[in-house]
Amino acid sequence: MSQKILVVGGVAAGASAAAKARRTDEKASIVIFEKGPYVSYANCGIPYYLSGEIADREDLFLVTPERFATRFNIDVRTNHEVVGIDAEAHTITVLDLAANRRYQESYDRLILATGNEPVRLRVPGSIPGGAFSMWTVPDVDTIQEYLTAHRPTAAVVVGAGFIGLETTEALLTRGLKVTLIELRPQVLPQMDPGMTEPLVTHLRRKGVDVILGDGVANYEGDDHGRVQAVLLKSGRRIECGLVINAIGARQRADLAQAAGLKIGETGGIVVDDRMRTSVRDIYAAGDIVETVNLVTGQPTRLPLAGPANKQGRVAGANAAGGNLSFPGVLGTMIIRICDLTAAKTGLTESEARAAGFDPLISYTHSPDHAGYYPGAETMMIKITADRNDGRLLGAQIIGPKGVDKRIDVFATALMAQMGIDDLESLDLAYAPPFGSAKDPVIIAGMVAANIFRKEMAVITPDELAEQLQNGAKLQIVDVRTPQEYSAGHIADAVNIPVDELRARCQEVDCERDTVVYCGVAYRAYLAYQILSQKGFKKLRNLSGGWRSWTMTLPG
């Protein structure tokens, strides 16, 4: 007899699970229950539809119920909410929202892919018109209609994570004046604070009023019941005609919890590498599950579309009798913010410390392709490695171009558990329009490996700033040209250009704790070698040089 597989939830994980189940078992009866009106759509593309970059709304829809039926022989029931699971009886209770009718459906295998839902901003009283979340296609439809009907000129975006930043860019593209409010002291909390400072600077140059460390206390409505201002906890009042709430999301695990499925320490459903839950014949995938961080080996919950699709594929195959596994996640992510791209894979410095590592940190600045070929632009790379064994732990990149290619190289290196010295030997494609003979990834590996091999000691910008703030008596040597020094330098730094250093090294005290720096740390590396071989023992190079100093520190 053919088996019956029910999938609760569509979009990334659910739709992938159902399609893979069909490819695994042609005879199975497969049904998808989706609470909303659409079963498979590109929710990651919603901000780009709002901006107008995706012009046709229909391009957001990946597979329609009709295509599921004709190509995959899968029964899709939209506007059907699953409200209960009887694991012992192998049945679910379904609410047909259109008919307001409840019924039960039996299953042999059940796959849960209920995903996340937006966290609602709690304010006193009623929420006026013009305040929205942007999570689903109906959400963006409502926002589009409001923009067309009322033509607001100013908007407030609450929350500076992925959705908040992408929405900010979309509204800027549409010509609105945007204020971005974030309760935490930084944007994009998935990255280290210093790596997000260039994003704040960039947004402000684009005209965005970025407010950090403040939150929304209430809304102020006009006589028509539409929002006219946002009142902040600090007492500040921001006039606007539109508010987009993007303060975060919570997993829809209530259904699973009520059915007795084990919930992990991260709040996600506990699954094994086959995506099996703690209850027989029930699988789960996507934003609701707890998985393994491949760097730390610890449980994590990572609501991203890439892992959700792969988890759904594994759950669908195994529910239908296959044998696939999902090893875990690295947390690879990327976002475009106007003309800059930010990306991360593996652990940040703060995450590495929290996980118990002694992190080795290195900053480098490299052009996306050969500097002599027109159009080269610089990206900043921050590597995190294990100081004890040189293992790569993570990478973060900020830059205008070429970030996507490099973050994927780092992610592949992490998947292979490579060390930073392995990065030095990577055989990457090179031609002047595409890269350099020493690619930015290779340069980053060389610099980090030099630190690991103790060929050079470094100090990071935040470490130097903290030491100076605490009154450390450091001897700081700026080895750039006098013109560069005059344009801006670290307070109390002595200027001795690297080309003059051999003849003038008597001007610095070899007994003092000394920091050398230049533009991006290359000339300072040369200076470091000169001074260290002349007897300087307490010597460090400022990682990433003046550029990292000015880019990563607040203000």
Which are the catalytic amino acids?
Answer: 44
The helix (H) or strand (E) run that includes residue 380 is: strand 378-386
SS3 333: strand
Task: Find how far residue 122's CA is from the centre of its chain.
Answer: 25
Strands (E), 52-159: 75-78, 80-86, 91-96, 101-106, 109-112, 116-118, 131-133, 154-158
Query: What are the phi and psi torsion angles at 440 (to 5°)?
Result: -50, -35
Residue 263 DSSP label:
B
Q: Distance between CA 48 and CA 67 in Å, rounded?
A: 24
- How many residues are present in the chain? 555
Residue with tokens 């940040």: 348
| Helix (H) / strand (E) containing 516 | strand 514-517
- Core vs surface per residue 438-464: b (16+ CB within 10 A) or e: ebbbbbbbbbbbbbbeeebebbbbbeb
Tokens encoding 370: 């050969």
C-alpha 534/C-alpha 529 separation (Å) is 9
The total of other beta-carbon atoms located within 10 Å of residue 135's CB is 18
Distance CA 354, CA 399 (A): 27
Task: Give CA–CA dist 440/546, Å, rounded.
Answer: 18
How far, in Å, CA of 137 to CA of 191, rounded?
Answer: 28
Dihedral, CA of residue 242, residue 246, residue 250 and residue 252, to nearest 10:
50
Q: Cβ distance 342 to 398 under 8 Å?
A: yes
CA distances from 553 to 17, 30, 193, 336, 437 (A): 45, 54, 9, 21, 31
